[in-house]
Structure 1
Amino acid sequence: MRKLKILYEYAALCFGLAFLAGLCIAWSLLAATLCRCLPERRGRQLGRWVIMAGFRLYLAVLGWIGACRFDLSALDALRGGPALILAPNHPGLLDAVMILSRLPDVACILKASLMDNLLFGAGARLACYIRNDTGHAMIKRAVRALDDGSHLLLFPEGTRTTRPPVNAFKGSTGLIAHHARVPVQTVFIETDSPFLGKRWPLHRRPDLPLSYRVRLGRRFDPPEDIRGFTRVLETYFAAELGVNPLSARRPAVPGYPRTRQETADESSL
């Protein structure tokens, strides 16, 4: 039975990656053509809707094959709401996928390498996502997206977490909120596994099923003191994520940093 479980987990991992790659390639081929044919506004609306629908289908498939369990319903409260900066923590590669799967109008700040990627580039350009390598131009495009009424997805850590519960925060979240005069909605992503985290090799088999939960935190007003706001935001995330009820259900993975809660649980035994 143990060998069968291991075989199933490898098969589920390979199928999930192949299914996502197939979705992205199929959409990229069509999106590359639509980028030349559609006006920007119509292309942006279509591009973001297709990304939402495609990612929702992908997560549903992961649930159907028993690979993952998702609780993302908290995000539905943001649909149709005013422009906000969505500021989540960043434990793994599925974070943006989960958020984008529930909201139809989100501008996302992406790494330049993803904007140029064969799998994601054409779809990201059609959806008017924003490259993160353009400095002042990135800020201007982000503010414009918020002025147009879109949500803006921005990870304050800048990259996936390497020092749980969160890395040091960048100042871009406060800077964009300050210039756009929009609130910052904190979003907490909780999981019971470091799968697809910064230090997780893509070929390493996870212990399935994986559990993910997204919950909304405090909504911060646009800041005047950007540096002070960044410190407050990082402290708030560290306090909220110091105790993760999902991670306590699964043994720690050898060679991966333990959370403060896991260490405390072990020392109390």
Structure 2
Amino acid sequence: MSQVQGSGIPGILRTLREYLAFYCGLGLLASVSLLWSVLALPLSLVLPRKWKKRTGRLVITMGFRIYLRALSIMGACRFDLKALDILQGESPMIIAPNHPSLMDALMVISRLPNLACIMKSELVDNVFFGAGARLAGYIRNDSLRGMIYLAVEDLRSGSHLLLFPEGTRSNRLPIGTVRGSIALIAKEAGVPIQTVLIETDSAFLTKGWPFFRKPSMPIHYRIHLGQRFDPPTDVRVFTAELESYFQSALVDAKLPHLPAVTDVHSS
């Protein structure tokens, strides 16, 4: 109680504003996602096949863009994502960001409307995201062979592909172990890999962060483009090269400390 009193009325009001922004943000994301899933179900039945992916991806891009804008207006986050805009009209490639938090996919998708995304199968089956993800032609990751085949086909059809090289959020910073699937897909599709460097000053939604734990606000996110690599010829050699590149490129990046297990349980 003494800590709350000592913070004074301005501190209390700021904390209340942060909690309001935090829970309004979560509620908005859940509401928009559920609404789109409800609308995506009938659209998947009536839209011509060639329009399904285009419509699904465009709506998701616009929805995430509006959502991130709302977070900015509420004072919860500050985003600098304009570096991604120059990729919109470019030929097929793999977009390969480092992956500190769950916000990363939302930020990238919000700027690139012609983007396939590899998702965990449980998200594709989720009531909030599933119908919209299926309409957009997002790719499940439960079968490695099927995932690679669908990813290559999507790239050959002219799309970009969002693929986190680690396959999951970073379990150590600046980056965890890079998987060979990204090199294999790029090799089979004959497309380059555009690295993307994500910086943030908060551990919010990093590995080990409880979903409903409020962070300090505002959170700052900044994205800039890294090196673009030609399609690899040797998967194993390139995988090691890509991991080494990220380690070097992110050495001075603004990244938070990952939450310790003891911190998570004590929060």
User: Could you say what secondary structure the match of 2:90 adopts?
Assistant: coil
Deviation >6 Å, runs of 4+ = none
Distance 1:85 1:226 in 2: 15
Indicate yes or no: 2:79 matched with 1:73.
Answer: no
Residue 40 of structure 2 is matched in structure 1 by 31
Contact 2:97 2:197 in 1 (8 A): yes
Residue 55 of structure 1 is matched in structure 2 by 64
Contact 1:10 1:205 in 2 (8 A): yes
Residue 240 of structure 2 is matched in structure 1 by 231
CA apart distance, 1:199: 1.1
Letter in 1 for 2:60: I
Residue 46 of structure 1 is matched in structure 2 by 55
Indicate yes or no: 2:176 matched with 1:167.
Answer: yes
Residue 177 of structure 1 is matched in structure 2 by 186
Residues 246 and 161 of structure 1, relative CA distance in 2, 3 Å threshold = closer
Letter in 1 for 2:95: L
Q: TM-score, normalised by structure 2?
A: 0.92
Distance 1:25 1:191 in 2: 28
Distance 2:18 2:155 in 1: 41
Q: Of 227, 242, 260, which residue of structure 1 is paired with 2:251? A: 242
Indicate yes or no: 2:174 matched with 1:155.
Answer: no
Indicate yes or no: 2:220 matched with 1:211.
Answer: yes
Q: TM-score, normalised by structure 1?
A: 0.91
User: Could you say what secondary structure the match of 2:175 adopts?
Assistant: coil
Contact 1:185 1:216 in 2 (8 A): yes
Q: Where in structure 1 are there 5+ consecutive unaligned residues?
A: 258-269
CA apart distance, 1:210: 0.4
Distance 2:208 2:146 in 1: 31
Contact 1:211 1:246 in 2 (8 A): no
User: Could you say what secondary structure the match of 1:108 adopts?
Assistant: strand
CA apart distance, 1:198: 1.2
User: Could you say what secondary structure the match of 1:189 adopts?
Assistant: strand
User: Could you say what secondary structure the match of 2:118 adopts?
Assistant: strand
Distance 1:246 1:211 in 2: 10
CA apart distance, 1:167: 0.8
Residue 100 of structure 1 is matched in structure 2 by 109
Letter in 2 for 1:207: S
Distance 2:155 2:237 in 1: 23
Q: Which moved more, 1:196-205 or 1:218-227?
A: 196-205
Q: Where in structure 2 are there 5+ consecutive unaligned residues?
A: 1-9, 263-267
Indicate yes or no: 2:23 matched with 1:14.
Answer: yes
User: Could you say what secondary structure the match of 2:225 adopts?
Assistant: strand
Contact 2:155 2:189 in 1 (8 A): yes
Identity of aligned residues (%): 53
Root mean square deviation, CA, Å: 1.5
CA apart distance, 1:146: 0.5
CA apart distance, 1:39: 2.2
Distance 1:28 1:97 in 2: 16
Contact 1:86 1:154 in 2 (8 A): yes
Residues 76 and 256 of structure 1, relative CA distance in 2, 3 Å threshold = farther
Q: Deviations over 1:28-71 (max 9, x none)?
A: 00101111111222011000000000000000000001110000
Residues 175 and 205 of structure 1, relative CA distance in 2, 3 Å threshold = same
